[in-house]
A and B are shown apart, each in its own frame.
Chain A
């Protein structure tokens, strides 16, 4: 059983963003400005749990600039066996279409992969589409919004999962190999142990495997900005909220409640 998790480095959830001429920068006075995308920790945890039950290994893949190593470090510290950083000037500016092409190429290069697990979305681009696009490129089973992996049958080559979608909890069964995106409900990610963190620090220095576009035999026209289906030249801050908050004051909570209900009728939202 070989599981791949795809993870990404993102700004921390409390990062303060600045944007100038469409370029976003950030800082975090409270801690590290860069973290492993929080959703990806659920993917990492699920892959490790599946290995604990079924054996095999877990490989973490991340695509990004050379310094974007937080996600892989977290993956190794939590217990992934191997990590691959895909980094190349030529893949800069990739949208989900180009990213899915690169990731599919990397998964093909690994060769013997049964399952690819993604977090639901990255908290910077917020697209949540790459997992399904990788599944499509590989011709594998697409399984999105997975809230539990119910059965993995390696001999019968099937995986059964529960998906949390608008209409309820849908149970589906699909062929392996499969690519899935997982939700927060799926597990409680472990904290990396002290030993795990030490191992990860060492791994990142000595063993981390880095692949470029040439290693993947990637078509130059299908990666980076050239291979993207969209561009996004304008990124900007939200327009400021108009007006201040009207604080409703009254002698009793009951009177305040009545005054508030009046306002809501006036606003025609009741």
Chain B
């Protein structure tokens, strides 16, 4: 039987948290199918990560260390991935649903003429086949997707699967492979990267505090930001607050913004339009603070306070500062 493959994404030698989650999901599926788990580790100066990946569950690591793979361009990654997959015919290739993960799998799926399932929130094995579940129609519905061919390519949503745990007793094999593209054949050249500000990444954060129209203005975001900082989480916003120019678009959660799934989502002054709910309804605990008791956000929340957020949010910060 053919193996399950996981592309382990690293940036500057750091494995992304979502990649450990994908490795964990891959391990579970591989065990259910009774097949091996292989990891793909591509980049430059990343050899040292192979052992860590083996300890977290990979039986084999295909390692390619090359200058063309240094800046994360999708083309050389995809070409190498599809070349290896063409040779070894894995049953599934999994990656995190990041911008790179999505691009690499999309390109490779064309090379392999294989089925592609983006942004999955669950994987299961049913009658020996992989069932991939993903939200559709902006999270209003779910869809179970199956491959019609031999190989399924799927990207997995961040924070939807438990991360793989390290076990120092595990052993595995590292196979060094050659890159598949010459530098001159790559059509994209990276000119530079302006790194994001120091705020925690929305999609990776275990805690998100978001503000909406109810915060009243740009200065109204200050207590909301403070609560996010106190909780060690990320700041989010509804579309209404972004459209009013109170906060940058990068913070927008919802149908036309980011999709998040934290352990704790605090919605302050957000009414809960269906487009906003689409981006956060899979959060574990949702807290709503709103002065309108009829606001739809209370229908998806576990806890709610009906009241003035400009008083409640600073009081939460004060209480947390005492206890954390």
| Residues of chain A at the chain B interface (Cβ within 8 Å) | 11, 13-14, 17, 19, 24, 38-39, 95-97, 100, 123-129, 132-133, 135-137, 140-145, 160, 163-175, 178, 184-185, 228-238, 241, 243, 245-249, 253-254, 256-258, 260-261, 263-265, 267, 269-270
- Closest chain-B Cβ to A194's Cβ sits at a distance in Å of 25
Assess whether B181 is interfacial by the CB under 8 Å rule.
Answer: no
Q: Which 5 pairs from chain A and chain B are nearest by CB? A: A229-B115, A257-B315, A230-B115, A253-B311, A132-B106
Contact A168 B116 (CB under 8 A): no
Distance in angstroms between the alpha carbons of A234 and B147 in the assembled complex:
13
With A136-B110, A235-B142 as known contacts, state yes or no: A269 contacts B187, CB within 8 Å: no
Contact B141 A132 (CB under 8 A): no
Contact A126 B136 (CB under 8 A): yes
Q: Give a binary string over B261-288; 1 marks a CB under 8 Å from any A CB, 0 the rest.
A: 0011000000000110000010011011
Among A97, A170, A249, contact of B192 (Cβ-Cβ < 8 Å)? A170
A interface, by DSSP: helix, strand, loop or mixed?
A: mixed
With A166-B99, A253-B307 as known contacts, state yes or no: A232 contacts B195, CB within 8 Å: no
Kindly list chain B residues whose C-beta atoms are within 8 Å of the C-beta of A167.
11, 193, 195-196
Contact B136 A184 (CB under 8 A): no
Kindly list chain B residues whose C-beta atoms are within 8 Å of the C-beta of A132.
74, 102-103, 106-107
Contact B192 A165 (CB under 8 A): no
Kindly list chain A residues whose C-beta atoms are within 8 Å of the C-beta of B144.
232-235
Residues of chain B in range 63-111 having any CB-CB distance to chain A below 8 Å:
74-75, 78, 98-100, 102-103, 105-107, 109-111
Contact A247 B103 (CB under 8 A): no
Kindly list chain B residues whose C-beta atoms are within 8 Å of the C-beta of A14.
274
Residues of chain B in range 114-167 having any CB-CB distance to chain A below 8 Å:
114-119, 134-149, 152
Q: Which residue of B lies closest to A100 (CB)?
A: B110
Distance in angstroms between the alpha carbons of A253 and B300 in the assembled complex:
22
Contact A133 B106 (CB under 8 A): yes
Distance in angstroms between the alpha carbons of A128 and B316 in the assembled complex:
39
Kindly list chain A residues whose C-beta atoms are within 8 Å of the C-beta of B307.
253, 256
Q: Which residue of A lies closest to B138 (CB)?
A: A123
Among A39, A128, A171, contact of B191 (Cβ-Cβ < 8 Å)? A171
Distance in angstroms between the alpha carbons of A257 and B196 in the assembled complex:
32
Q: Which residue of A lies closest to B281 (CB)?
A: A238
Besides A13-B138, A238-B142, 10 new A-B residue pairs in contact (Cβ under 8 A), listed by A number: A123-B255, A126-B135, A133-B109, A142-B188, A169-B193, A237-B140, A238-B139, A254-B311, A270-B207, A270-B264
Assess whether B299 is interfacial by the CB under 8 Å rule.
Answer: yes
With A230-B115, A270-B264 as known contacts, state yes or no: A245 contacts B142, CB within 8 Å: no
Contact B190 A230 (CB under 8 A): no
Assess whether B319 is interfacial by the CB under 8 Å rule.
Answer: yes
Among A11, A128, A184, contact of B256 (Cβ-Cβ < 8 Å)? A184
